[in-house]
Structure 1
Amino acid sequence: MPFPRCLVCGSSVNDAGVDHVHRFPRNEQKSKIWQDAMGIKYIPGVSLKNYSICSRHFTVCSYLNRVTGKLCANAVPTLLPASSVGQQSPSEQTLETPSTPPRSIFRGIKGLSAADTTPRKQHLMNLVKSKEAHLRKLKKICRKKTGDIKSLTNIGDSTVVRNVFRGMSSVITDFLISQLRCAKKSPRGRRWTTQDKVLALALFKKSPKCYRLLRKVIEDAVMNCWKRPNN
């Protein structure tokens, strides 16, 4: 089960400097104070109890017990990490409304801040970013699998095939590989190398009758292919 992440900076308890993650208060008035302090637009009736703020946004004075992570009753988070805003008392924090918008889920989107959206939109944006990251991983896997498939279909460079024909002459090896490569392909789909065409031409010149007989039982470069070296 994934650890809850901070609504502002996206940190979790697995990240350095984060000891605890605190959910928004169930009390609507306290939740409103937290939202105002974090620069989130308050919408009456919309609960943020399922969203959290990490300990980076709370000063030491905000805790009754730092080890257990128990907050004071009037503790209020700050938009910037507590180390950068100084050690302020909770009463002073409630009077401040930071002007710098969070950049966690809005990074790269011009003119959009947490105050311009709703918790539901923030959740959907997080979901979209997660799906985009998942798609990038799938594309990377697909590219790797495509390369693996191409290497398998390239019979001539296959180590396994070469080991099967070990001990045979290079002419016989190339001939057998060409049979495997062009098997179950239509005449227009067959591709012959220069070596295949040279061998077929040599057989034809040696004995046309023998060549025509062999063509009935094996796949080989036909006469009209010899004029097209790239076929």
Structure 2
Amino acid sequence: MPKASYLYKVAAKLKRQTRILSKNLRMAEDICNMECFKELAVHVDAVTYQFIMSQVRTQKFKPRGRRFTLDDKILALSLYKQSGKAYKLLTRIFSLPS
């Protein structure tokens, strides 16, 4: 029976995590569909808009499961080349390739 209670606890924990992640995903989708967010796309340049959309797209994946486009990798590499400390700080805020 100890194995069954352990599996029950693990299943309950995963169920809670799934609820939280699905709630976060719905909130991100709602933000993407907002009119002010769509208006933002008009006022920023293409690289900035692509970066924002990349952040929204990659947040639903685990850190090791995220896949980045070539433009994302080039941007991250140029940030790292400018300042390693700044890159480390930005990786705490944004999902950037390592």
Structure 1 runs of 4+ off > 3 angstroms? 160-164
Q: 1:207 is matched with which residue: 83, 86, 91?
A: 83
Matched, 1:191 2:62: no
**Post-superposition CA distance 1:66-100 (Å, at most 9, x none):** xxxxxxxxxxxxxxxxxxxxxxxxxxxxxxxxxxx
| Residue type of the alignment partner of 2:95 | E
| Residue type of the alignment partner of 1:171 | V
Q: How far apart are residue 191 of structure 1 and its match?
A: 1.4
Q: How many aligned residue pairs are there?
A: 65
Q: How far apart are residue 192 of structure 1 and its match?
A: 0.5
What runs of 5+ residues in structure 2 fail to find an aligned partner?
A: 1-28
Alignment of 1:78-157 (within 5 A): none
| Residue type of the alignment partner of 2:88 | R
Matched, 1:180 2:47: no
Question: Normalising by structure 1, what TM-score?
Answer: 0.26
Q: How far apart are residue 163 of structure 1 and its match?
A: 4.2
Alignment of 1:1-150 (within 5 A): none
Q: What is the CA–CA distance in structure 2 between the aligned matches of 1:188 and 1:210, rounded to whole Å?
A: 22
Question: Normalising by structure 2, what TM-score?
Answer: 0.58
Q: Per residue, is there more helix in 1 or in 2?
A: 2
Percent identical: 37
Q: Per residue, is there more strand in 1 or in 2?
A: 1
Q: What is the CA–CA distance in structure 1 between the aligned matches of 2:38 and 2:46, rounded to whole Å?
A: 10
CA RMSD of aligned residues (A): 2.2
| Residue type of the alignment partner of 1:216 | R
Q: Which residue is 2:15 aligned to? A: none
